Amino acid sequence: MKKLESPDELVKFRKSLESKYRSDKIRVLICTTGCRALGAEEVFKAFKAEIKKLSLEDKVEIVDTGCQGLCARAPVLTIEPMGIFYGRVTEADVTEIVSRTILKGEVIERLCYTDAGKRIPYVRDIPFYSKQEKIVLRNCGEIDPKNIHEYIVRDGYAALSKVLSDMTPDDVILEMKNSGLRGRGGAGFPTGNKWEFVKKAAGDIKYIICNGDEGDPGAFMDRAVLEGDPHTVIEGMLIGAYAIGARKGIIYVRAEYPIAVEHLKIAIEQAKTLGLLGENILGFQFSFDLEIKMGAGAFVCGEETALIASIEGKRGMPRPRPPFPATNGLWGKPTNINNVETFANVPVIILKGSEFYKAIGTETSKGTKIFALAGNVKNTGLVEVPMGTTLREIVFDIGGGIPGRKKFKAAQMGGPSGGCVPAQHLDLSIDYETVKEVGAIMGSGGLIVMDDSASMVEIARYFMEFCQDESCGKCVPCRIGTKRMLDILTRITKGEGKKEDIDLLRELAEVTKTASLCGLGQTAANPVLSTIRYYINEYEELINKKSFQTSPQQSSVQQP
Amino acid sequence: MQKNVTLNKESSPSVDLAQCRSILSNYSSVTHADLIPILQLIQDAYGYLPQDVLIEISAKTRIPLSKIYGVVTFYSQFYLEPRGKYTIKVCTGTACHIKGAPEIKKKISDVLQIQEGETTPDYKFTYTPVACLGTCFLAPVMMIDGRYYGKLTVEKTEAILKGY
């Protein structure tokens, strides 16, 4: 493949690909990332073999994709252009799918999604999909992430081309500011403003970092984006690099995500071959290099200064800010750090414009948000909805409600930094501000549904154990505060609680929150405070009755 | 997150440094930023980080051994002890926790007669809980080497372990 030397060449190249991809071919899209755990690779191989056996290669294409969202039905596949969705597919089903569905257009009922006893064969009719709005996940599960051509044919790198041809770095920053995009890593800082700080910072060498250190238990959206559509993250980083004036970027990924690392490596290689990474991109003066760094297993490295320390080869401990990484980051140079999902929004904003983007969402929170829906809910999986969607819509309409005739008790949002949202707030419109008001945080977007069998004190203890274990120990409030809170919570769940414990927990929580050095400590008390706020009766009951039996062995949490 | 560090020569088995030297020879000059990637490569080769290897890395890179130990003991990915033939990773993420991970963990301990983080005396299994495997739809789930076992029950867990 020869390098693309100008925006025109990219357009021509896309056109040449279109004839290949917009043919009448039937495409069988099989998730081989998350669904791998339940045998998706075997299903993929069986399809390939069957198509070859019947010499159908000209008519049928078998594509291994990233996550298609509805993980509860894994392994899943979609057959295009009909839009038929099958779940829990095994190797044994493959011959029948080819002979009946692909060759005759018949629907195989037993593989269809069911809703209240009714079988729904088409993707567009399944409530799980029809109530979502996909911006970040627009390609995820629909393209082969290992093939840059599939990304390019879906307008891939068109945003980069537009930025380089028609926009100054200031135009890009203005567009980002107008769009209202806020950081999807959790804190929600306006992305355009962050870029502006780094652009204005003094210095010739600047860095741009993608934070893919998704350490929250119960969150897997960054993993899905990196695995299912790595080029969109790379393109977002390229646009960011152009805006702030960086020549070098680093993607920091959890080592526990081997498929994400593999797909990123392939994507970077392919982008380099086409001249979309490296020197004089698309023939412009702009040059940019990208490398992958693997994390080594430390939750605190999600915090930006700790992440920088880790890239520098040190223990991943945070340092006080200011100075912020925007002026004093990697190797002391101005550095911009954004999360995976944030970067994945960028190409869409550039291509469709900030006005389009701004129209989605609420007054203060624009665009969509991906949630990793898990726990006691029927349709576990990956969900992308406009900001402002209610919790009820996510849990009941998209998630299909609580299985086993149980009742909704709480939704735990934002992982160990978040909180529990009780049933009375089910109609809460989810955006950064309202979620914070009720004591949780958006966080990275983990959303764990709990039914009425969950003990909220135990949940608080569980998260505190995680935070205590993952505290780097540098600052005293976090190191000792989390330890003390864990001791008290453990005591209460063992039935050895004292009357004064609740007040003591509140006091410790406030101090840890106020005095800790970084986000880990500042938010570690959230699960405690939110459970005390909404479920104080459970604390009191345990303390008064002293009869609660916790699980036989106290669990402990460690990173691999 | 803390690990016990023993700097006792006699307790560490002697290792062949050839692989370590060959990995280090790919670096003409080593900066501090290369330390974690080097440790990752070397652990891939040896299965853990033997003491002699760390001493060798320190000598070649001129990074003080204390600094190297500081990094190794900070990150949970690095191991200072030899590992079993199979590594059992039990997910302790929130979804798994509320769906019964604590009982699964107890069962593994009972069957293998070891605690979390330990290796069986015959070096067949190493057992470690992990924060999240990112496969919440399989909860509760464990992973033995590359293979996932989802929707576990106590009985299923025992049967799986005995099948190895």
Q: What is the pLDDT of residues A423-445, one digit of tens each?
A: 999 999 999 999 999 999 988 89
pLDDT top residue among B134 and A162: A162
Residue A116's pLDDT band, with cuts at 50, 70 and 90, is: confident
- pLDDT score for B134: 82
- In angstroms, the Cα distances linking A443 to A76, A302, B73 are 28, 12, 28
Tokens of residue A38, six digits: 């339940």
- Tell me the average pLDDT across A268-285: 97
Q: Is A162 on the interface with B (CB under 8 A)?
A: no
Residue A490's pLDDT band, with cuts at 50, 70 and 90, is: very high
Question: A–B: how many Cβ contacts below 8 A?
Answer: 168
Going A544 to A550 to A552 to A555, the CA torsion angle's sign is negative
Which residues 6+ apart lie within 8 Å of A333 measured at CB?
A: A203, A205, A206, A207
The rounded distance, in Å, linking the Cα atoms of B114 and B83 is: 13
Of A410-414, A542-546, B118-122, give the lowest mean pLDDT range.
Answer: A542-546
CB atoms < 10 A from the CB of B113, how many? 9
With beta carbons under 8 A apart, name residues in chain B contacting A372. 136
Q: Is A549 on the interface with B (CB under 8 A)?
A: no
With beta carbons under 8 A apart, name residues in chain A contacting B127. none
Does residue B4 have a pLDDT over 90? no
Tokens of residue A401, six digits: 């409600």
With beta carbons under 8 A apart, name residues in chain A contacting B49. none
Tokens of residue A532, six digits: 């005390």
- Tell me the average pLDDT across A376-387: 96
- pLDDT score for A554: 42
Which residue among B1, B71, B77 sits closest to A255, beta carbon to beta carbon? Answer: B77
pLDDT top residue among A419 and A552: A419
The rounded distance, in Å, linking the Cα atoms of B149 and B90 is: 10
Going A405 to B99 to A388 to A363, the CA torsion angle's sign is positive
Summarised one tens digit per residue, pLDDT across range B50-74 is: 999 999 999 999 999 999 999 999 9
Q: Is B70 on the interface with A (CB under 8 A)?
A: yes
The rounded distance, in Å, linking the Cα atoms of A35 and B63 is: 42
The rounded distance, in Å, linking the Cα atoms of B91 and B104 is: 10
Tokens of residue A383, six digits: 């969900």
Nearest CA to A133 out of A422, A345, A337 is that of: A345
Chain B nearest CA to A459, separation (Å):
8
Instruction: State how far Cα A113 lies from the chain centre.
Output: 24
Which residues 6+ apart lie within 8 Å of B138 measured at CB?
A: A37, A38, B148, B150, B151
- Which run of H or E residues covers position A86? strand A84-86
Contact criterion met (CB < 8 Å) for A312 and B33: yes
- pLDDT score for A21: 80
Which residues 6+ apart lie within 8 Å of A360 measured at CB?
A: A133, A135, A366, A367, A368, A386, A387
Residue A85: phi, psi to the nearest 5?
A: -115, 125
In this predicted complex, what is the ipTM? 0.90
Nearest CA to A160 out of A268, A288, A265 is that of: A288
Contact criterion met (CB < 8 Å) for A376 and B98: yes
In the DSSP assignment, the letter for residue A390 is B
Q: Is A216 on the interface with B (CB under 8 A)?
A: yes
Residues of B numbered 96-115 whose beta carbons fall under 8 angstroms of chain A's beta carbons: which are they?
97-99, 101-103, 105-106, 109
The rounded distance, in Å, linking the Cα atoms of A268 and A264 is: 6
- pLDDT score for B43: 95
The rounded distance, in Å, linking the Cα atoms of A445 and A372 is: 6
Task: Count how many Cα atoms sit within 13 Å of the Cα of residue A43 in the half-sphere of its side chain.
Answer: 30
The rounded distance, in Å, linking the Cα atoms of A259 and A434 is: 35
Q: Is A72 on the interface with B (CB under 8 A)?
A: yes
Q: Is A332 on the interface with B (CB under 8 A)?
A: no
Nearest CA in chain A to B40: A296
Chain A nearest CA to B159, separation (Å):
18
Summarised one tens digit per residue, pLDDT across range A352-367 is: 999 999 999 999 999 9
Q: Is A297 on the interface with B (CB under 8 A)?
A: yes
Nearest CA to A388 out of A356, A352, A432 is that of: A432
Q: Is A129 left (phi over 0), alpha (psi -120 to 50) or beta?
A: alpha
Residue B6's pLDDT band, with cuts at 50, 70 and 90, is: low
Which residue among A37, A216, A375 sits closest to B98, beta carbon to beta carbon? Answer: A375
CA-only gyration radius of chain B, Å: 18
Chain A nearest CA to B80, separation (Å):
14
Summarised one tens digit per residue, pLDDT across range A154-207 is: 999 999 999 999 999 999 999 999 999 999 988 899 999 999 999 999 999 999
Instruction: State how far Cα B93 lies from the chain centre.
Output: 18
- pLDDT score for B135: 86
The rounded distance, in Å, linking the Cα atoms of B119 and B106 is: 15
Which residues 6+ apart lie within 8 Å of A16 measured at CB?
A: none
Q: Is B50 on the interface with A (CB under 8 A)?
A: no
- pLDDT score for A377: 96
The rounded distance, in Å, linking the Cα atoms of B129 and B155 is: 19
Whether the CB-CB separation of A241 and A208 falls below 8 Å is answered with yes
Which residues 6+ apart lie within 8 Å of A558 measured at CB?
A: A469, B1, B76, B92, B116, B117, B128, B129, B130, B131
Q: Is A207 on the interface with B (CB under 8 A)?
A: no
Q: Is A213 on the interface with B (CB under 8 A)?
A: no
- Tell me the average pLDDT across A69-73: 95
With beta carbons under 8 A apart, name residues in chain B contacting A412. 94
Contact criterion met (CB < 8 Å) for B36 and A296: yes
Q: Is A296 on the interface with B (CB under 8 A)?
A: yes
Which of B27, B57, B94, B116 to probe by mutation at the A interface, max A CB count within 10 Å?
B94
Q: What is the dihedral of CA A321, A323, A325, A328, to 10 degrees?
A: -150
Nearest CA in chain A to B133: A256
Which residue among A219, A293, A558 sits closest to B76, beta carbon to beta carbon? Answer: A558
Residue A323: phi, psi to the nearest 5?
A: -70, 140
Does residue B5 have a pLDDT over 70? no
Residue with the two structure tokens 């350490």: A215
Does residue B1 have a pLDDT over 60? no
- Tell me the average pLDDT across A455-471: 96
b/e per residue, A201-224, with b = 16+ CB within 10 A?
Answer: beeeebbbbbbbbbbbbbbbbbbb
With beta carbons under 8 A apart, name residues in chain A contacting B33. 311-313
